[in-house]
Amino acid sequence: MGESLSTAAPIGIFDSGVGGLTVARAIIDLLPHEQILYVGDGANGPYGPKPADQVREFSIDIGDYLVDQGCKAIVIACNTATAASFQILQERYEERYDIPVFGVIQPAVRRAIATTRSGRVGVIATEGTVQSGAYDDAFRLLNDDIEVVSAACPRFVDFVERGITTGRQILGLAENYLAPLQQAGVDTLVLGCTHYPLLSGVIQMVIGPDVTLVSSSEETAKDVMRVLSEKNLLAPESKLPHEALTEDAVMREPVRRFETTGDPERFAELARRFLGSMVGNVTATTLTN
Ligand code: DGL
């Protein structure tokens, strides 16, 4: 740890499972030349029902692994882990080694504030995130006038991890979870769990077309781009194969590694469904070098 950072080093991204791929995709869209190292913590997820100090330990284990692998930035692509460990990971990597650490809560709050007209915003998230009060704190910090109505949706993650994103069961569940937010008349709904954008069809159908869904992925990706650019850490803009004019100029696609502490085949199947062909080999990791 602590050697000077290389622009060619990967961006480390982690989540309890496949949800963080929604953030990874936004980062890859904005920064197609960057190497990526994604870790899904399938062995320990879901994080939502777990105590915050346990989630913090999982986050530190993965963060240390990503830093040991030479990552130049760490993206906590999970709201539950951001709520439990953003500050400690910032102290551990950013303050000690100048490795920038990104969470997903503040970017989502920023977007929601820019979106709402009525000032009444809904947040759906895991139990861990809702109980932490991290969204309430972040809204209060940026705009004290916003009224925040939160609801935990404990079973959503489980469905996504099983690859179920449509159908009667998930629709019924969404109707129950979203009823209090409909009653509160929110005009903006924050998808405060990185798994939820994969359910946005069902969520939008239930909450209705007048409510704007906000997810943190694009905003987080913009933060990553801005900070890496300020720190002169963006990967050199090598030609991607389709941009190269001569065969000599053809560079290889940046390496995007996907690892899981759980079952690599299951992860690969879901990840390819959600992220397409940019997911190559998925390898099992025990988080040691
Ligand atoms: N995707 C995660 C989040 O944003 C975690 C879900 C879970 O593991 O419960 O909160």
Q: Which residues contact 259 (CB under 8 A, 6 or more apart)?
A: 37, 38, 39, 40, 282, 283, 284, 285
How many other CB atoms are found less than 10 A from the CB of residue 146?
A: 18
State the residue for tokens 């390819």: 272
Measured CA to CA, the distance from residue 76 to residue 101 in angstroms comes to: 7
**Burial class of 165 by CB neighbour count within 10 A (0 to 12, 13 to 18, 19+):** middle
Instruction: Specify the ligand 1 atom closest to the Cα of 78.
Output: 4
Measured CA to CA, the distance from residue 192 to residue 214 in angstroms comes to: 9
pTM: 0.94
Pocket probe mutation, ligand 1, options 23, 82, 126, max atoms within 8 Å of Cβ: 126
Q: Please measure the distance between the N-terminal and C-terminal CA atoms of the chain and give it in whole angstroms.
A: 12
Q: Which is nearest to 197 in space by CA: 34, 9, 73, 21?
A: 21
Q: Residue 236 C-alpha to ligand 1 middle, in angstroms? A: 32
Q: Residue 155 C-alpha to ligand 1 middle, in angstroms? A: 11
pLDDT tens digit at each of 289 positions of the chain: 546 788 999 999 999 999 999 999 999 999 999 999 999 999 999 999 999 999 999 999 999 999 999 999 999 999 999 999 999 999 999 999 999 999 999 999 999 999 999 999 999 999 999 999 999 999 999 999 999 999 999 999 999 999 999 999 999 999 999 999 999 999 999 999 999 999 999 999 999 999 999 999 999 999 999 999 999 999 987 655 555 555 544 456 789 999 999 999 999 999 999 888 888 889 999 898 6
Q: Which residues contact 86 (CB under 8 A, 6 or more apart)?
A: 76, 101, 103, 105
User: Quick one: CA dihedral 177, 110, 56, 5, positive or negative?
Assistant: positive
Q: Is 150 in the pocket of ligand 1 (CB under 6 A)?
A: no
Please report the pLDDT score of residue 249 as a whole number.
45
Distance of CA 130 to the CA centre of its chain: 16
71 is catalytic: no
Structure tokens at 227: 């900070």
Q: Residue 11 C-alpha to ligand 1 middle, in angstroms? A: 20
Q: Is 126 in the pocket of ligand 1 (CB under 6 A)?
A: yes
Q: Is 195 in the pocket of ligand 1 (CB under 6 A)?
A: yes
Measured CA to CA, the distance from residue 228 to residue 233 in angstroms comes to: 5
DSSP designation for 243: G
Q: Is 129 in the pocket of ligand 1 (CB under 6 A)?
A: yes
Structure tokens at 147: 């009224």
Is the distance from CB of 157 to CB of 17 less than 8 angstroms?
yes
State the residue for tokens 């996907």: 258
Is the distance from CB of 95 to CB of 78 less than 8 angstroms?
no
Q: Residue 30 C-alpha to ligand 1 middle, in angstroms? A: 23
Q: Is 123 in the pocket of ligand 1 (CB under 6 A)?
A: no
Structure tokens at 193: 């769990």
Measured CA to CA, the distance from residue 178 to residue 219 in angstroms comes to: 24
Q: Which residues contact 193 (CB under 8 A, 6 or more apart)?
A: 19, 48, 78, 79, 80, 124, 125, 126, 129, 153, 156, 157
